[in-house]
Structure 1
Amino acid sequence: MKFDLHTHHDRCGHAQNTIRDYIEAAIAGGLQVIGISDHSPYFGSSEDHAQPLIAMAKSEFPRYIEEVLQLKKEYEGKIDVLLGVESDYFPEHTAIYQQEYAKYPFDYIIGSVHLSGGVSIFNRNRWNKLNEAQKIEQKEEYYRLIAESARSGMFNILGHIDAMKGFYPAFSDIATPKVNETLKIIGESGVAIEINTSGKTKDVGGWYPSREILEQALHYGVEVTFGSDAHIPGRVADDWEEVRQTLKEIGFKQWVYFKNKQKQVVQL
């Protein structure tokens, strides 16, 4: 059973091609399941399209849902198309996000922290002029938000849980017990984490999260899934087999995906 739960398309403003193109790429790649999970609108903003190069407009969201559901029907019997969304996590706006998501029949929701301390996690300049203590504070705030997102009950999957290393590889070397504390909370919350292979498109290379974090995730009983985070159709299921083999080496026996919010277990 080959699946990929994390794909984007041109609505978000920084990915290419249509949803259909990603589905066709998945079929060509031998997948049985493809999840469509573009970036959620900024529901907490008063503007319809607050960040046009980051996420779709609020007014576009119903059309996104409608298109995925139509394609789900069209491709039935060829590939299982799942309706997802990659949702930002803003603690101050959880109620409005939950209210919006409750309107639609999502198969799953990915919760991702993209802003920490009001600054993008991918902003390499955030690390300039910080001393070691301040770097630890930055990392701990990021994991505090991830732990809070796990406890929120909003998400089935947590996205790229060490993506802050994307343009700052030294992030992984900042020592803090907060990472393991967060993994313990994730395990207790029953939320899965994704192995996201888009780290290879950033300075850091490789995957999110690191092998070390995956080893600790296994220790804390955290379940795992797969997401390429493809922003072009050619990256659908990128490194899927390599990820599967790595998980087996670490000691995982299974991974999961979600359909109708129900966990589907796939043996490795």
Structure 2
Amino acid sequence: MKFDLHTHHIRCGHASDSIRDYIEAAIGAGLDVIGISDHSPYFAHEHDHPQPGIAMARSEFPNYVAEVLRLKEQYKDRIEVLLGVESDFYIDQIELYRSAYAPYPFDYIIGSVHQTRGVSIFNRNRWKDKDEAQQLDEKKYYYELIRRSAESGLFQVLGHIDAMKGYYPGFADIAGAEADIDEALKAVAANDLSIEINTSGKTKDCGGWYPSDAVLERALHFGADVTFGSDAHLPARVGDEWEAVRSRLREIGFTRWVFFRQKEKIAVPL
């Protein structure tokens, strides 16, 4: 069974094409299951659409859900369409986000840390003039947030858990946060979640996938499940490198990966 849980579309403002286009691309790529998971609105912001190039308007969220559910029904004889969302994780806003999602029948919610200390994880400038101790503190805090997102009870999948390396490849070489990464992975296993193998890292300076093989090996050691997400912002990337990821997971020692239907974990043998 071939699946991809992480796709975006035009509503978020930095992806192209419609939800239907991603579903059609999934069919063309031979997928059995396609998850639609566009970026959540900024629910806590006073404005309806504060950052049009990053996330959809708050008022557009019900329309997003309705469109996915409509297409799920239309395509049910050709491919299984799952309703998802990629949610930001802010510690002080978790209950607001929980209540915003509660009315809708999500199959899964991806929890992604996109900002720490109010700065994007993809901002290269956050690393300027930081000494080794400060860099380590940034990395440790990032994984503290990831651990706390795993413990929040809101998510089924944690997104791109070493994506801070995206535009700063040196992030991977900051030593001293190994215990913090392990605690995050333990929390994933303890709360029956999954981390994603996200192939969009190839589009950033770091190249390759999120997370690294070293993190995946630790995930296996602690019994954390994995899933697949292309993080496609173009229909052509749906299912990108699925077979290569499956092969690498087998080499590492995984015997299964998972997806979620109605927030229930579905195991698929590798």
Per the normalisation by structure 1, the TM-score is: 0.99
2:47 matches 1:47: yes
Q: Secondary structure at the match of 2:77?
A: coil
Aligned with 1:232 (options 234, 250, 255): 234
State the shift of 1:181 in Å: 2.1
Alignment match, 1:172: 172
Structure 1 residue ranges without an equivalent (≥5): none
Q: Deviations over 1:108-167 (max 9, x none)?
A: 000000001110000011000000000000001100100000000000000000000000
SS in structure 2 at match of 1:85: strand
8 Å contact kept, 1:16–1:231: yes
- Residue aligned with 1:84, SS: strand
**Map of 2:141 onto structure 1:** 141
**Structure 1 position 222, deviation (Å):** 0.3
| Post-superposition offset of 1:190 | 1.4
Structure 1 CA distance for aligned equivalents of residues 44 and 223 of structure 2: 33
In the alignment of these two chains, the number of paired residues is 268
Query: What is the letter of the counterpart of residue 226 of structure 2?
Result: V
Cα distance, 1:191 vs. partner? 1.1
Equivalent residue for 1:131? Answer: 131
State whether residues 117 and 141 of structure 1, in contact with CA within 8 Å, keep that contact through their aligned partners in structure 2.
no
**Match for residue 4 of structure 1?**
4
Task: State the distance in 1 between where 2:200 and 2:247 align.
Answer: 18
Superposed CA offset, 1:29-62 (max 9, x none): 0000000000000001111001110000000000
Q: Which letter does structure 2 place at the counterpart of 1:256?
A: V
The residue type equivalent to 2:39 in the other structure is H
Structure 1, residues 42-101: CA drift from partner, whole Å, max 9, x if none? 001111001110000000000000000000000011000000000000111111111110
Residue of structure 2 equivalent to 1:34: 34
User: Retained in 2: the 8 A contact 1:150–1:186?
Assistant: yes
The one-letter code sitting in structure 2 at the alignment partner of 1:214 is L
Per the alignment, residue 262 of structure 1 pairs with 264
Cα shift readout 1:204-227 (whole Å, capped 9, x = no counterpart): 000000000000000000000000
2:19 aligned with 1:19, yes or no?
yes
**Unmatched 5+ residue regions in structure 2?**
none
For 1:175-208, what per-residue CA distance to the aligned partner results, in whole angstroms no more than 9, with x for missing partners? Answer: 1221122212222121100000000000000000
**Distance between the aligned counterparts of 1:83 and 1:185, measured in 2?**
25
Q: Distance in 1 between matches of 2:43 and 2:17?
A: 24
2:83 is equivalent to residue 83 of structure 1: yes
Shifted more, 155-164 versus 89-98: the winner is 89-98
1:212-262 superposed Cα distances (whole Å, 9 cap, x missing partner): 000000000000000000000000000000000000000000000001111
Aligned-partner Cα distance in 2 for 1:131–1:138: 11
Matched letter for residue 67 of structure 1: E
Q: Which residue of 1 aligns with 2:245?
A: 243
The separation in 2 between residues aligned to 1:50 and 1:94, in whole angstroms, is 19
Q: Which residue of 2 aligns with 1:118?
A: 118
Measured in 1, the distance between the counterparts of 2:191 and 2:73 equals 33
Q: Give the whole-Å Cα distance in 2 for the aligned partners of 1:207 and 1:111.
A: 18
